[in-house]
Amino acid sequence: MQGVPPADVIRLMPNVWTEPFWRATAEHRMVVPRCTACGTFRLPPTPFCPSCASQDLEWVEHDGRGTIYSFTVIRHAVIPDVLDALPLIAAVVELPGTGGCRLVGNVVGVAPEEVRISQEVTVDWYDVREGETVPVFRLA
Amino acid sequence: MNEGDGLTMRDRTAIVGVGATPYYKRGESVPQLPMELAAKALLAACADAGLDVHDVDGFALYSMGFDTSLFAQWLGIDVRFAGMLTGGGGGAAGSVGLAAAAIVSGQADCVASIMTLQQAASRFGASYAPRGKPGATYSAPPSPEGSFIQPSGLMGPGQMFAVLAQRHMHRYGTTREHFAEVAISTRNNAIRRPTALMQKPLTLDEYFDARMIADPLCLFDFCLECDGAVAVITMSAERACDCAQPPVYVAASANGGAGKWGQAITWFGMPDEYFASSGHRTVAADAYRMADIGPADVDVALLYDHFSPMVIMQLEDYGFCPIGEGGRFVADGNIRWPTGSLPVNTHGGNLSEAYIIGMTHVKEAVEQLRGTAVNQVEGAEVALVTGGPASIPVSNLVLHR
Ligand SMILES: [Zn+2]
């Protein structure tokens, strides 16, 4: 895939709370945890609801459509391994219907000059290695 | 218990000494050891205050500090207080507040706040790169939270703050010319100071010709990478009067942040209301209340400038201008020394003097209030110092003469 860092530099480290999210991405599905006590969504998944401190949650499927909340274009390689992948567009994407939850991912398939805040995007999947997939986004 | 302000530490302590090593370009302080640099800065601060190093009985540190036990062993210091603010550069100014708290609570009498830095092998610019990769010797181990950020290629703080800057531009109409004004005015202050690493003026053309590092930030929006150490010694207001220098009183200090500021740049889930901010609004209110002053009372501001847009956001969060007006505030010349309404980073800041994780800002505030600064603000009585916009805690310090 173009527009993403090489797989070699991506290290996922799930814990018991985030593992369902990564299990879903490996199946090319997006899920967002929602507090079953008060309905508040949260990302990344954490042990407690930030609104009511409940630990009970359910995993809600999301269609992966979102809007670019902000972004940067990475043009300098802070480590040599990413040099050949530059420029990288790293965006914060807000997911409608989740009370403002955001995900961070590359915007791929577009020139950096064409990216703007508020553009609509849809999720795509970067299969990093067997069993590990991270979300990326394409302009809708 | 005292009446009135007795429940706060306002004016009950003072900075009595400041000291620093020379500032070096990244790696050029080798073969000195990082803790050796720290000790040299402490000895310089003691000399400044007219104290013996064995008068020091406490350490108030931040940003992971250093091994107090070994440091004490080297210098034979009997330790009565060894405390540290959690987090990173956000705690710079607040480390002096921690020193003041230790003194007011009777735990220690003479407390040193110190930062030492040597970026020979370890570069903060790759803080979030995968450990073990060439160029990533300093970097953090993989974490559950980092797994939501780092796969996008966001591996350095500047790239992450660029995301805040982009949002600020979108929301408020801030421009790269505004960032340039921060970089240029700071450079103008640096070039008058022999201690500064950057000694040439920066023009607007040079700023716009510079390579982009992480849009909208270019090379000159980034602070320097360097080595060195700075130490600050705080004592009770009474004992400060017996020291060699005029006391510089600690009027207030606050550290912390709003819950939903949280990890900030390694989260990006902050509410829209203050996503494009420095995260300082709650600690600004706390410090102004403790010091019983407002922004109009501040004569000189030493604002942590790891990245130029964060100076603009702090000017807003500390009430020097309305939220969203920071770009236009700097464009109007307000932060220039000596003509602006609020000279900022008169020492040249992290951007152009040296990046010692914010402790140079405390040293400059002390010199301003002693009246001995190279770029002296005429009649300066009150100085504001801030720690880095970062994850919680961020911090500040209000000093007066
Ligand atoms: Zn809840």
The complex's ipTM? 0.98
Share the mean pLDDT of chain A: 97
pLDDT at A120 (0 to 100): 98
Tell me, what CATH number does A48's domain have?
2.40.50.840
Is the residue at A1 inside a domain?
A: no
Is the residue at A25 inside a domain?
A: yes
Residues 6+ apart with CB under 8 A from B4: none
Closest approach of chain B CAs to the CA of A59, in angstroms?
Answer: 17
| CB-CB contact of B322 with B153 (8 Å) | no
pLDDT bracket for residue B6 (50, 70, 90):
low
- Nearest by CB to B155, which of A4, A73, A78? A78
Would you call B318 a catalytic residue per the annotation? no
Substitution target in A16, A30, A76 with the highest count of B β-carbons within 10 Å is: A76
Q: Where are the beta strands (DSSP E) in B237-379?
A: 248-256, 300-302
pLDDT in tens, B223-263: 999 999 999 999 999 999 999 999 999 999 999 999 999 99
Residues of A in contact with B153 (CB under 8 A): 4-5, 74, 82, 85, 88, 90, 106
Average pLDDT, stretch A86-106? 98
Average pLDDT, stretch B191-214? 98
What residues make up the domain containing A120? 7-139
Closest approach of chain A CAs to the CA of B151, in angstroms?
Answer: 5
pLDDT in tens, B86-122: 999 999 999 999 999 999 999 999 999 999 999 887 7
Is the residue at A93 inside a domain?
A: yes
Rounded distance between C-alpha atoms, residue A83 and residue A87, angstroms: 8
Place of tokens 């979030």: B128
Which CATH number does B5-120+227-400 carry?
Answer: 3.40.47.10
Q: Which residues pair with B307 in a beta bridge?
A: B222
Host H or E run for residue B173 = none
Is the residue at A91 inside a domain?
A: yes
Is the residue at A2 inside a domain?
A: no
Q: Are strands B382-386 and B300-302 parallel, antiparallel or unpaired?
A: parallel
pLDDT in tens, B343-380: 999 999 999 999 999 999 999 999 999 999 999 999 99
What residue segments make up the domains of chain B, in order of their start? 5-120+227-400
Is the residue at A35 inside a domain?
A: yes
